[in-house]
Amino acid sequence: MKQIKLLIAFLCFSFLFSCKQDDQKIEFTLLQVNDVYEIAPIQGGKYGGMARLETIRQELLKENSNTMLVMAGDFLNPSLLGTMKYEGDRIRGKQMVEVMNAMSFEVVAFGNHEFDLSNNDLQKRMDESKFPWIIGNAMNVKGDSLVPFYQNRNEKTERVKGSYIKEISDKDGTTIKIGFISVCIPSNPRSYVKYTDMYEEIQREYNEIKDKVDIVFGLTHVKVEQDKKIAELLPKIPLIMGGHEHTHKNETVGEVSIRKADANAKSAYIHKVTYDQKEKKTSITSTLKEITDEIASDATVKRVVDKWQTIMDNQISQVVENPYDVIYTTDVPLDGRDTPIRSVQTNLGEIVTKSMAFSYQNKVDCSIVNGGSIRIDDELIGDINSVDIFRVLPYGGEVYKVQMKGSLLSEVLDFGKNAAGTGAYLQRDGILYENNQWKVNQNKINPNKTYTVAISDFLLKGLDIPFLTEDNKGIISIYKPNTKELAYDIRKGVIAYLKTLN
């Protein structure tokens, strides 16, 4: 009996002793993605896919229950699905929020493309989100007032802050608080948004929460050079998880690591963090994980993805047959990223404009399209299918054959050149700018000559180039294609043209 009592006492002592073995160290994992516009795999199914990303998250959760999935901005737009209608309304990122809800995102940062949406549509997406949003350098313009953005979440209205705090614990009782702070590049001016200085705001955010948490991380959506400046301003932040660039980045400034994954979940960053509460030290091992077709898709998330893909496929199939058949293969990336496509001639812009001429059997002098019509904000490489072209030109539209005076053509080209950096910049074919003068087919434009120009229907609405409308006196005639012609949908022309290049 005495031995049994001693054994019980020993076991109780051991249990109590083991419960107190808090080593004051804790490990957790951050899974980072950024600039994700497509919910399904891209490039013929080889890369990306949110269901594959969820498989990675689930595997990390098995290793450590303190695993958090974060988004460093840009996910609501642009996307082909977002331009389509479902139940009477444009989808406008609804598909992305539904998928992200199924994946239990911890926190997301605003990217500049979130502000592509109207204030009303953005509010809908925020209210549909089960996860919190953060941004520190943007306010909502309401009449003459500036107010914070907000979410109607968990049956209450929550102000969108510039920071987010998460408390975590491990099995031995170590408990810490983690802070995330965020700013967004002010590159998308909107009437309902007022941007403030990103550097002042992120310093303010850091100072506000640094004494409330054990560690502060950056979750930003700015250019890498701006992240570097933030790292200089806030040298005690161990890690900045960033977005905006579409190719992965691995930079270090002092003791601050800056990491960005590839766009469209072609890769994700896995950050395994150890924090020593006693020493107040953080160590991080960051691994860039490529997301390919070797990773199985999580069944739950795939069901959500498949729902939206079916909606998209049904609509695309009304325009082209066999939308997933490979139509062109390239080893050279076709550049449709926003900044280049709106600033310089790119090889993708050249393909689009050459296809416009092709739609009229090349019986035009030149072709022009506004860079803003190309919405993919990404590069195409490898096998390309019709769906990819719909991603490039989600709004479609007709290609008109317009006869116009050389004087008007020069004026239009000058406007496009001066609009570099905006959607009014013109991608061109058959046109050169040499020695401060415009040339068509190697010859200086004659202001009195009539030129035949393949032009996107959007440009003749006067929205990008105010004076370029159908009633401009410099326009002699306009031919509008019928429904059976390639030119009736610019995407059909691009697809047909690419097929001739194989």
- CB of 221 within 8 A of CB of 109? yes
353 and 237 in a common domain: no
- Among left, alpha and beta (phi > 0; psi -120 to 50; other), residue 242 is beta
Domain that holds residue 161: 21-301
Residue 37 corresponds to which tokens in the numbers above?
């516009």
pTM of the full structure: 0.86
Is 206 part of any domain? yes
448 and 379 in a common domain: yes
329 and 297 in a common domain: no
3-state secondary structure of 419: coil
Is 75 part of any domain? yes
411 and 378 in a common domain: yes
Question: Is the pLDDT score of 17 beyond 50?
Answer: no
Q: Where are the beta strands (DSSP E) in 133-266?
A: 133-134, 138-142, 145-147, 150-153, 156-159, 163-169, 175-181, 193-195, 215-219, 239-241, 249-253, 256-260
How confident is residue 16, by pLDDT bands cut at 50, 70 and 90? Answer: very low
- CB of 320 within 8 A of CB of 492? yes
Q: Which of 233, 267, 301 is the last residue of a domain?
A: 301
How confident is residue 230, by pLDDT bands cut at 50, 70 and 90? Answer: very high
Predicted pLDDT of residue 9 = 52
Q: Which of 301, 332, 351 is the last residue of a domain?
A: 301
Instruction: Read off the CATH number of the domain in which 494 is found.
Output: 3.90.780.10
480 and 429 in a common domain: yes
Is 365 part of any domain? yes
Sequence-distant contacts of 436-439: CB under 8 A, at least 24 apart: 438/409, 438/410, 438/413, 438/414
Question: Is the pLDDT score of 18 beyond 90?
Answer: no
Write the pLDDT tens digit of every residue in 94-145: 999 999 999 999 999 999 999 999 999 999 999 999 999 999 999 999 999 9
275 and 385 in a common domain: no
How many domains does the chain divide into?
Answer: 2
296 and 407 in a common domain: no
Backbone angles phi, psi at 47, to 5 degrees: -130, 155
Write the pLDDT tens digit of every residue in 310-325: 999 999 998 888 998 9
CA distance 370 to 490: 13
